[in-house]
Amino acid sequence: MRPAASRTADCGLGLNPLGQVIASPSLLASGEDCIFAIGDCASLLPPGAPRPLPSTAQVANQQALHLARHLPAWLSGEPLPPFNFRDLGSLVSLSDYNAFGTLGRFGFFPGGFVKGRFAQWSHALLYRSHQLSLHGPGRTALLWLAEWLNGLVNPKIRIS
Each residue's pLDDT tens digit in the chain (160 positions)?
A: 445 555 555 677 889 999 999 999 999 998 898 999 999 999 999 988 999 999 988 899 999 999 999 999 999 999 999 999 988 888 888 877 788 888 776 656 666 777 887 778 877 888 888 899 889 999 999 999 999 999 888 877 767 6
CATH 3.50.50.60 range(s) for the chain read 1-85
Closest CA to 98 of 69, 123, 73, 80: 123
Superfamily of segment(s) 1-85: FAD/NAD(P)-binding domain (3.50.50.60)
* Separation of alpha carbons 105 and 83, rounded Å: 17
* Separation of alpha carbons 110 and 129, rounded Å: 21
Instruction: Note the pLDDT of residue 4.
Output: 53
0.75 exceeded by pTM: no
Half-sphere exposure of 25 (CA within 13 A, CB side): 10
Query: What is residue 99's three-state secondary structure?
Result: strand
Closest CA to 126 of 92, 85, 86: 92
